[in-house]
């Protein structure tokens, strides 16, 4: 206790510093890991008894502390860190997916891994460090863990060259942001955002990540060999071979028949499970068998049949070809009044996506270690119980899975969303999952793309997505990829490889797997199959709506940008907001005015008359006089040397007596009267900004008077 041990490793031109023995004395293992000035503190704890849950209760908590970046929350009322943000949850899921496949089958003891970001330098990614650090913490603990695994990010610069662990600043201009979990076998986790990157380039990124990850793996093994605890002994909580053999003898044919029944598969398997629980325990030697393990044994047999059929007989449960996409049904513009909508179905996986446009004032403000950031395009995914055919309490708040799926589809569309100066709107898409039977997240991606085009959002190209599944034999040398996998193929398979993109390239990838790492060669072949499947999906989408509609919905707000001199922003707002508040009172709730530091003033309204009025009011406050331009104004003051004309709050000028008429003018009052409307041209603006105007040669019949005549 209280004996600090430090180990340093040079990686990618920087030092990674690991320390343990000086913190978290009661945790199973505790350490700090540092790169640059980014520091993580990681703790592992585990129960000494197996859980009775029907899944492995691994809890990964990733938490970015505000103080890590020298930040105090911007909330007026709550300064304590609250529940992890959506962004923290997405990052925690990446770490979870990198680690989860590496625990032994049947280990059911509850394990908690807590990753706290304690200091952040804005350069080094805490997620990569979190994967490596959590792996090392598990290697040092008594928890049985089949690691190590390392976190690697691959970026791509403007020249198209791949870069290992680019800084977060470099990632802002990178066309690739690919986060990997890497072990000795291959890739355990993959999360990619890409700006329409070709499959060939992505394939090279896989190879580079695997190669670089091996360096950190060797370092972890050395430390674990020296400092690691003895691993706890456990009795695998899984059905024994005798029980599985008994289930196979009695129910294999019934299970196989149920598996190949696409319509009633789930209910038929549940009936077999219930029957097996009732019957098996009446047989000699099986009287004390756990109902849970009997059900697990049925699943074992079902898994064996499914995998044998796909791997050996090249036959899928749906009787589709291995590279065949389910029947697609695509509709756009399915809801009235909303700004854009679409219904996308692939087999019985179905989603309705709805797009809403709003003022730029409605962009989402996020608080994170980078400070406040705005999020203009937002995608939310809702997957209620009824979409799975399940009863139960309706949850009004999204779970981690929904947050993760929503973020993934959002990432897939970001590269095609038009920039603010081309399309000055906040954009929100909600994907309501109506029915799930495999890869609803990819359906949400397709639905979002369709809804945006239906709303008239000028996206660069439609984006589609497809999921590739995998089954392997005794080794990964024998494998079978399946396109557009269903839920049962996911449940009994080894991998869920989701690829999203346009016809031209990839915009996002996410991989979950159950193997101890997937070989790079398999993933490279999966990229090829995903491209074929994605093209089939995109072709079906394009037949319904090939490009964004020419016009926005009549119910969508319209936006006009008034560009003003940034130095005039203060004048537009007025002292204490006087001017902008007065505009709001006159225009009412139907108009939203948002002023950016760049001098762009966004006026949003559905009323064309109010739009024109708002633009006129803004220009009246900030418009600068132009030499040669004719303005209509009011005579505000008369002196013996001339008259002052008031055009707007921002423009006024002097009409000297010499500029009132062609001849000599002795008395300005003979030409103009106080309060008179006149048309005058700007002839000069001096260095102090004083405006000189003339009445010479100007038709004094106003447009309004001309129209009345």
- What are the pLDDT digits (tens) for 574-607? 888 888 888 888 888 888 888 888 888 898 888 8
Contacting residues for 25 by C-beta, under 8 A, at least 6 apart: 1, 2
Neighbouring CB atoms inside 10 A of 597's CB total 7
Any idea what the CATH number is for the domain that residue 664 is in? 2.40.50.140
- The predicted model gives 684-691 an average pLDDT of 90
Q: Are residues 153 and 223 in the same domain?
A: yes
Helix or strand (DSSP H, E) at 281: none
In a domain, 466, yes or no: yes
Q: Residue 511 sits in which domain range?
A: 328-544
In a domain, 261, yes or no: yes
Whether the pLDDT of residue 706 is over 50: the answer is no
Nearest partner of 444 among 524, 510, 358, judged by Cα: 510
Contacting residues for 141 by C-beta, under 8 A, at least 6 apart: 28, 29, 44, 46, 228, 229
Q: How many domains does the chain have?
A: 5
Query: Please, which pLDDT band fits residue 611 given cuts at 50, 70 and 90?
Result: confident
Q: Are residues 452 and 508 in the same domain?
A: yes
Residue where one domain finishes, among candidates 496, 512, 544 = 544
Which tens digit of pLDDT belongs to each residue from 476-533? 999 999 999 999 999 999 999 999 999 999 999 999 999 999 999 999 999 999 999 9
Residue where one domain finishes, among candidates 283, 311, 339 = 311
Question: What pLDDT was estimated at residue 72?
Answer: 84
In a domain, 341, yes or no: yes
Q: Are residues 637 and 703 in the same domain?
A: yes
Q: Are 79 and 73 in contact (CB under 8 A)?
A: yes
Question: What pLDDT was estimated at residue 708?
Answer: 44
Whether the pLDDT of residue 705 is over 70: the answer is no
In a domain, 103, yes or no: yes
Supply φ then ψ for residue 364, to 5 degrees. -85, 130
- Rounded distance between C-alpha atoms, residue 629 and residue 285, angstroms: 102
Of 33 and 362, the one with more pLDDT: 33
Query: Please, which pLDDT band fits residue 98 given cuts at 50, 70 and 90?
Result: very high
Q: Are residues 342 and 448 in the same domain?
A: yes
Please report, for residues 84, 297, 484, 676, the alpha-carbon distance to residue 347 in angstroms, rounded to integers and kept in the order given: 35, 29, 10, 74
Of 608 and 343, the one with more pLDDT: 343
Residue where one domain finishes, among candidates 261, 284, 311 = 311
Which tens digit of pLDDT belongs to each residue from 390-441? 887 777 778 888 998 999 999 999 999 999 889 999 999 999 999 988 889 9
- Rounded distance between C-alpha atoms, residue 506 and residue 202, angstroms: 8
In a domain, 319, yes or no: no
Q: Are residues 510 and 382 in the same domain?
A: yes
In a domain, 316, yes or no: no
Q: What is the DSSP string of 378-413?
A: EEEEE--GGGGT--SPPPSS--HHHHHHHHHHHHHH
In a domain, 195, yes or no: yes
Contacting residues for 47 by C-beta, under 8 A, at least 6 apart: 109, 110, 111
Any idea what the CATH number is for the domain that residue 563 is in? 3.30.1370.10
Q: Are residues 503 and 588 in the same domain?
A: no
Whether the pLDDT of residue 385 is over 90: the answer is no
Give the percent of the chain with pLDDT over 70.
Answer: 98
- Rounded distance between C-alpha atoms, residue 368 and residue 249, angstroms: 57
- Rounded distance between C-alpha atoms, residue 192 and residue 31, angstroms: 28
Of 152 and 609, the one with more pLDDT: 152
Question: What pLDDT was estimated at residue 625?
Answer: 87
- Rounded distance between C-alpha atoms, residue 356 and residue 452, angstroms: 9
Least confident of 179-193, 318-332, 520-534, 553-567: 553-567
Instruction: Report the chain's mean pLDDT, rounded to a whole number.
Output: 91
In a domain, 671, yes or no: yes
Q: Are residues 359 and 412 in the same domain?
A: yes
Token match 């000189």: residue? Answer: 692
Instruction: Sort 347 into a burial class: Cβ within 10 Å, 0-12 / 13-18 / 19+.
Output: buried
Contacting residues for 685 by C-beta, under 8 A, at least 6 apart: 625, 627, 691, 692
Question: What pLDDT was estimated at residue 658?
Answer: 93
Question: What pLDDT was estimated at residue 709?
Answer: 40
Of 370 and 299, the one with more pLDDT: 299
């Amino acid at each position: 206790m209280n004996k600090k041990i430090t180990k340093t490793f040079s990686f990618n031109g920087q030092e990674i510093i690991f320390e343990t023995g000086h913190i978290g004395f009661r945790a199973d293992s505790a350490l700090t890991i540092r790169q640059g000035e980014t520091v993580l503190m990681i703790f592992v704890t585990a129960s000494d008894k197996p859980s009775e849950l029907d899944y492995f209760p691994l809890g990964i908590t990733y938490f970015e502390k505000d103080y890590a970046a020298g930040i105090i929350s911007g909330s007026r009322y709550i300064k304590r860190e609250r529940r992890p943000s959506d962004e923290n949850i997405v990052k925690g899921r990446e770490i979870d997916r990198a680690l989860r496949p590496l625990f032994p089958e049947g280990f059911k003891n509850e394990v908690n891994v807590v990753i706290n970001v304690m200091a952040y330098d804005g350069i080094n990614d805490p997620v990569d460090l979190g994967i490596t650090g959590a792996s090392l913490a598990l290697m040092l603990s008594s928890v049985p863990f089949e690691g190590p695994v390392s976190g690697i990010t691959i970026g791509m610069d403007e020249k198209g060259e791949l870069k290992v662990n680019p800084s977060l600043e470099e990632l802002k201009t990178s066309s690739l942001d690919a986060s990997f979990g890497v072990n000795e076998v291959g890739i355990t986790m993959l999360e990619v955002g890409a700006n329409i990157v070709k499959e060939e380039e992505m394939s090279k990124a896989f190879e580079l990540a695997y190669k670089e990850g091996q360096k950190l793996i060797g370092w972890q093994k050395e430390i674990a060999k020296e400092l690691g605890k003895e691993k706890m002994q456990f009795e695998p909580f899984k059905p024994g071979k005798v029980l599985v053999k008994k289930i196979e003898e009695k129910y294999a044919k019934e299970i196989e028949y149920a598996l190949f029944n696409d319509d009633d598969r789930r209910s038929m398997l549940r009936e077999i499970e219930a029957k097996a629980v009732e019957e098996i325990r009446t047989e000699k030697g099986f009287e004390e068998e756990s109902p849970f393990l009997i059900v697990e044994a049925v699943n074992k047999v079902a898994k064996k049949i499914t995998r044998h059929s796909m791997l050996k007989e090249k036959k899928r449960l749906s009787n589709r070809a291995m590279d065949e996409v389910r029947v697609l049904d695509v509709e756009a513009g399915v809801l009235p009044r909303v700004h854009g909508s679409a219904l996308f179905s692939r087999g019985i996986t179905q989603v309705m996506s709805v797009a809403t446009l709003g003022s730029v004032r409605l962009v989402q403000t996020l608080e994170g270690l980078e400070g406040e950031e705005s999020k203009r395009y937002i995608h939310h995914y809702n997957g209620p119980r009824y979409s799975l055919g399940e009863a139960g309490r309706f949850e009004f708040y999204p779970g981690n899975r929904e947050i993760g799926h929503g973020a993934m589809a959002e990432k897939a569309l970001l590269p095609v969303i038009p920039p603010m100066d081309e399309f000055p709107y906040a954009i929100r898409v909600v994907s309501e999952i109506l029915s799930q039977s495999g890869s609803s997240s990819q359906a949400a991606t397709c639905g979002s793309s369709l809804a945006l085009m239906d709303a008239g959002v000028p996206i660069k190209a439609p984006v589609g997505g497809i999921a590739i599944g995998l089954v392997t034999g005794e080794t990964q040398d024998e494998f079978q990829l399946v396109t557009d996998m269903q839920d049962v193929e996911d449940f009994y398979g080894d991998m869920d490889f989701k690829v999203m993109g346009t016809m031209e390239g990839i915009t996002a990838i996410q991989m979950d797997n159950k193997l101890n790492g997937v070989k790079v060669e398999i993933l490279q072949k999966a990229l090829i199959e995903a491209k074929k499947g994605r093209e089939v999906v995109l072709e079906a989408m394009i037949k319904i709506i090939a490009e964004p509609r020419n016009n926005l919905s009549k119910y969508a707000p319209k936006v006009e940008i008034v560009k003003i001199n940034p130095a005039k922003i203060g004048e537009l707002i007025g002292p204490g907001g006087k001017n902008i508040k007065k505009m709001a009172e006159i225009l009412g709730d139907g108009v939203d005015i948002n002023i950016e530091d760049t001098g762009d003033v966004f006026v949003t309204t559905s009323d064309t008359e109010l739009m024109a009025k708002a633009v006129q009011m803004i220009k009246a406050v900030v418009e600068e006089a132009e030499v040669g331009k004719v303005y209509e104004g009011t005579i505000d003051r008369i002196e013996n040397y001339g008259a002052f004309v008031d055009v707007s709050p921002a423009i006024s000028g002097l009409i000297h007596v010499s500029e009132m008429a062609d001849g000599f003018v002795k008395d300005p009052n003979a030409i103009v009267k106080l309060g008179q409307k006149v048309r005058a041209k700007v002839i000069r603006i001096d260095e102090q900004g004083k405006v000189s105007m003339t009445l010479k040669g100007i038709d004094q019949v106003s447009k309004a008077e001309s129209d009345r005549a």
